[in-house]
A and B are shown apart, each in its own frame.
Chain A
Amino acid sequence: MDKPIYDQDLLNKLTGVRSTRLSHYVELRRTIEEMTKQNKRLAIINQIARSITVAMSYDEIIDRVAEPLKEVIPYDLLSFCLLDGEQLVIKSGIPREQVILGVGTVLPQEKSAPWRAMAEKKCFLRQNIWDDPETYGEDSELKKVGIRSAIMAPLLIKDEVIGTLNFGSKRTFAYSPGEFVFVQQLADQLAVCLQNSRLYGEVLKNQRAWEETFRAVPDTLYTINSDFAIMNINKAQLKGIDYRQLLGRKCYDVFSDDSQPCEPCPARQALNIGKPAYEQITRELSRILDVYAFPVVNEAAQVVGVVNYTKDVTEQIHMQGQLIHSVKLAAVGEMAAGVAHELNSPLTAILGNAQILLRRLGQEHPGYPLLVDVKNCGSRCKRIIQNLLTFSRQEQCNLEEVHLNQVVENSLALVSYQINKSNIKITTQLHPNLSTVLGKQQQLEQVIVNLLLNARDALKGLSEGVINVTTGCLKRESGLTEAFVSVKDNGCGIEKQHLAKIFNPFFTTKDISKGTGLGLSVSFGIAQSHGGRIVVQSEPGRGSNFSLLIPLGEKERAK
């Protein structure tokens, strides 16, 4: 019996001593184990993605990643580096406070493993760094911290590499190519988070810049939605209310204390017509506002809101009025000076000749009373001309001690004739011991003249018109003492809706040929320049009372 030498291994395989039917149970368990591992990894990626918010710093991000990752991939060193210009810089890592290969370390572009992972755009695995025939720039540093194996995954945004995610272990062969899929998935997720965080930072910076610009505008700038609710406003404080409390409130509620949109309302116009609108609006305290409304249009070309730009132009308008008025006055003054000069010579002749004749004729002469009349009228003419000259030369005058009673008398001298002509009775109650104020007499006279003429106009057509001029002293609650002149009439009064506007330049209820709308605004300006004010009380049909109040000079107050 020959005994050929057969391959015992082959025989064993054939008879199957060393083999067993493959079992689905084992395969299933292996599959389940693999899936459980994958699920856990996916869950961790998910958890990481959810817990990282855009506002996190790099260190916070790596903190979120560090702990859960330990469960599925071992590491002794975890870090990520990002491209900073041309350099690859370690931005954060675990362990913290590591000096070697710590935050800020720049990885050399020449022969660096993370650079290689970036160049190849795929995971790069180093199983045994200390004995690797292929060396890399960071090897000596890795040896110092005891890292023997590492896996590096590129951080990819679409196809652009922004850095790498790095795992290091003190064991050799701690990682296998089987880990590539997970590590790359993790890197992809992290890349998105890091990119978001970076973009968020930029957006935040831009937003802050815009917000600062927005808040820096001194005028009121606010946006409303189509329901007039305030969406944003540049004033940090408005009427003592923090701007955050204003958000969502109706603009008319905030700005006009009203329960419905103002009339007129440029914002409504802008909402309706979809084009910028403009209105000049007077609000309380006689503030004149230029309100511009610019519609905000969405992608579907619908107007969804309005940007309102409100500029307080009160000072500007008043200045404009005063300027025009003073130009007018200057012209009047020039003319008056001319006329006075021209009239002075003939008046001098009239007065001189009248006096000569009076002296020659004697009182017995039947023409004597006539001549006296000529002389008196001539004198009166001269006085009027003098007043006119003084009045028109106001810009040249200086601050002086002014007696308000004197101001009243001068003013009445100028206009009482005109007023009396209209069958209006003037009564005066002048305070006998009124202190002087520091001011410009001519300007103050201008105010009183203006008030008197307005009173006359208010009494036009009425019988038994009376103008009562009073001077006096008032002590305010603040302790300030003011001297006042009030001009009171029993005329038509002022309609309530006009009351807020009467000091606006160019506002008038008179015929265009008669009123310029400058009188009260200029008077108001004069009062202000004296540190004073004009107060109005008026009742339609019953009459008005305008008071000029000027604080007493320092000297007087000291008394």
Chain B
Amino acid sequence: MNVFKFVSPEIIFGPGTLSECGLSASQLGARRIFVVTDKGVQASGWLQQALENLSDNGLEYVVWKDVSPNPKDYEIYTGTHKYIANGCDSLLAIGGGSPIDAAKAVALLVSNGGELSDYEEIDSIRRPLPPMIAITSTAGSGSEVSQFSIILNAPEKRKMTLVSKSLIPYISIHDPELLATLDTKVMIYSGVHVLTHAIEAYVSRVATPLSDLNALNAIKLVADTLRLVKNGSRSKEVHGCLAMANLHAGLAFSNAILGAVHAMTHQISGWLDIPAGVVDAVLLPHVVEFNLPANQLKYARVAEAMGEKVTSVDDGAKKVIGAFKNLFAELELPDKLSQLGINSKLYPILAQNIIRDVCLVTNPRKIQMNNITEILRRAY
């Protein structure tokens, strides 16, 4: 059996746990909190609720809500400056992947200094980061439990992946009630992203028994729940399942890392500035098609987890791609890159960036430049 390690923040899960943020923060020793969020979260009213909770616990805070989707490096520098200028001592991120990734990057710079590009090498952070609490308001990014932070290098239009144990939030709060304010479309995109994370983590070269447990659970939960969402169900159970799927998937990929889909989605969604889930839906069947020979057993189990009747490994492997396509069709998601408005002339540039993405390392099958362009061509 391989040697492995499993990392996770302290996790608080359940309806109404948003109001645990103040106590959590004060227990971490926070006094003046740098709250990172975006305008969407502010509009939903969750931000106000969190801030009141902080005040109730006698904590001061400074709110930074100018984070855009796919946060840009220059935004991080602005945030870092604001954190230092206000004498903050800790962070609270509330939102989807963008505010949480941005908060991680700010925490990194305030304690280690320098520029983000200084830390692109894995595990190159040298000093501990200030305490941080992440509250996820969506399902999909997994950033609230992960050791990753993805920031766009704006001048180069390239996503930088920062990886370190120190980037894992101290406390991660998963309150399913927060999903209630998402519209159906966003919820579907998020769910597809969760599914993709879970599948890639499951088949990852560095998957472990613990991450597999999380990954399979996530796949099962999300596949069922997405259909309910599509059919208009907004029950607490649906939100709870989606939130739980998100937590499982996050833990899975934080430990087992991801694969080619993620590497490609990173770049394409970054380039087009569109939700990752849409791109995932287009790319997943094509990448799995390429990867299938590497681990048929696991793909068969994926098909099974997604509700397919599987009689053998071969049977499951054959059915898995169909399972994706059926689900995405039901969810009325696009199945071609061309539908997303991408110009195929950009492929060489995108491929250049994709090949540098660290997620390719854990892809179950070794993947090279020509494979990538081939997948992109097929998905067009």
Residue numbers of A with Cβ under 8 A of B are 1-2, 4, 6-7, 10-11, 13-17, 19-24, 26-27
B129→A22 contact, CB < 8 A:
yes
On whether A27 and B294 interact (CB within 8 A), knowing A4-B365, A11-B362, A15-B4, the answer reads no
B205→A23 contact, CB < 8 A:
no
On whether A13 and B206 interact (CB within 8 A), knowing A24-B128, A27-B128, the answer reads no
Instruction: Pick 6 A–B contacts, CB within 8 A, sort by A.
Output: A10-B122, A11-B206, A11-B361, A14-B361, A16-B165, A21-B165
A1→B206 contact, CB < 8 A:
no
Chain B residues 141 to 190 lying within 8 A of chain A, measured CB to CB, are 147, 163-166, 168
B257 at the binding interface (Cβ < 8 Å)? yes
Q: Which residue of B lies closest to A22 (CB)?
A: B128
Q: Give every chain A residue within 8 A of B208 (Cβ-Cβ).
A: 15
On whether A21 and B123 interact (CB within 8 A), knowing A11-B205, A16-B7, A27-B128, the answer reads no
Point out the residue from A1, A10, A20, A22 that lies within 8 Å of B361, measured CB to CB.
Answer: A10
Cα separation A2 to B291 with both chains bound (whole Å): 10
B293 at the binding interface (Cβ < 8 Å)? yes
B295→A1 contact, CB < 8 A:
yes
Cα separation A491 to B165 with both chains bound (whole Å): 124
B302 at the binding interface (Cβ < 8 Å)? no
Cα separation A367 to B255 with both chains bound (whole Å): 173
Q: Give every chain A residue within 8 A of B163 (Cβ-Cβ).
A: 13-14
Q: Is the interface of A mostly helix, strand, loop or mixed?
A: loop
Q: Give every chain A residue within 8 A of B129 (Cβ-Cβ).
A: 22
Q: Which residue of B lies closest to A20 (CB)?
A: B165
Q: Which residue of A lies closest to B206 (CB)?
A: A15
Cα separation A254 to B92 with both chains bound (whole Å): 85
Q: A135 to nearest B CB, angstroms?
A: 39
B362→A14 contact, CB < 8 A:
yes
Cα separation A16 to B164 with both chains bound (whole Å): 8
Q: Give every chain A residue within 8 A of B366 (Cβ-Cβ).
A: 2, 4, 6
Q: Give every chain A residue within 8 A of B126 (Cβ-Cβ).
A: 22
Cα separation A274 to B33 with both chains bound (whole Å): 71
Cα separation A19 to B205 with both chains bound (whole Å): 18
B166→A14 contact, CB < 8 A:
no
Given contacts A16-B5, A21-B7, A21-B128, 11 further A-B contacts (CB under 8 A): A2-B294, A4-B365, A7-B361, A13-B122, A14-B122, A14-B206, A14-B361, A15-B206, A16-B255, A19-B123, A22-B128
Q: Give every chain A residue within 8 A of B147 (Cβ-Cβ).
A: 16
- Per-residue interface assignment for chain B, residues 109 to 147, with 1 indicating a CB less than 8 Å from any chain A CB and 0 otherwise: 000000000000011011111000000000000000001
Q: Which residue of A lies closest to B362 (CB)?
A: A14
On whether A22 and B125 interact (CB within 8 A), knowing A1-B294, A2-B366, A6-B205, the answer reads yes
B346 at the binding interface (Cβ < 8 Å)? no
Q: B2 to nearest A CB, angstroms?
A: 9
In the complex, how many residue pairs between chain A and chain B have their CB atoms under 8 Å apart?
A: 66
Cα separation A143 to B358 with both chains bound (whole Å): 55
B85 at the binding interface (Cβ < 8 Å)? no
Q: A536 to nearest B CB, angstroms?
A: 95
Q: A219 to nearest B CB, angstroms?
A: 74
Q: Give every chain B residue within 8 A of A20 (Cβ-Cβ).
A: 165
B5→A23 contact, CB < 8 A:
no
Q: B260 to nearest A CB, angstroms?
A: 13
B257→A15 contact, CB < 8 A:
yes
Cα separation A440 to B319 with both chains bound (whole Å): 160
B166→A21 contact, CB < 8 A:
yes
B293→A1 contact, CB < 8 A:
yes
On whether A19 and B293 interact (CB within 8 A), knowing A13-B122, A14-B362, the answer reads no
Cα separation A288 to B129 with both chains bound (whole Å): 92
Q: Give every chain A residue within 8 A of B164 (Cβ-Cβ).
A: 19
Cα separation A21 to B107 with both chains bound (whole Å): 14
Cα separation A22 to B126 with both chains bound (whole Å): 8
Cα separation A27 to B125 with both chains bound (whole Å): 13
Cα separation A27 to B127 with both chains bound (whole Å): 7
Cα separation A26 to B361 with both chains bound (whole Å): 32
Which has the most chain B C-beta neighbours within 10 Å: A2, A16, A23, A27? Answer: A16
Top-10 shortest CB links A-B: A4-B366, A22-B128, A21-B165, A13-B122, A15-B206, A24-B128, A17-B5, A22-B166, A19-B123, A13-B123
Q: Give every chain B residue within 8 A of A15 (Cβ-Cβ).
A: 4-5, 206, 208, 255-257
On whether A21 and B168 interact (CB within 8 A), knowing A4-B366, A10-B122, A15-B255, the answer reads yes
B3 at the binding interface (Cβ < 8 Å)? yes
Q: Give every chain B residue within 8 A of A21 (Cβ-Cβ).
A: 7, 128, 165-166, 168
Which has the most chain B C-beta neighbours within 10 Å: A11, A15, A20? Answer: A15
Q: Give every chain A residue within 8 A of B358 (Cβ-Cβ).
A: 14
Q: Give every chain B residue within 8 A of A19 (Cβ-Cβ).
A: 123, 164-165
Q: A550 to nearest B CB, angstroms?
A: 104
Cα separation A19 to B125 with both chains bound (whole Å): 11
Q: Give every chain B residue within 8 A of A14 (Cβ-Cβ).
A: 122, 163, 206, 257, 358, 361-362
Q: Give every chain A residue within 8 A of B5 (Cβ-Cβ).
A: 15-17
B365→A2 contact, CB < 8 A:
yes
Q: Which residue of B lies closest to A21 (CB)?
A: B165
Cα separation A166 to B126 with both chains bound (whole Å): 35
Q: Give every chain B residue within 8 A of A27 (Cβ-Cβ).
A: 127-128
Cα separation A309 to B128 with both chains bound (whole Å): 78
On whether A23 and B128 interact (CB within 8 A), knowing A15-B5, A16-B7, A16-B165, the answer reads yes
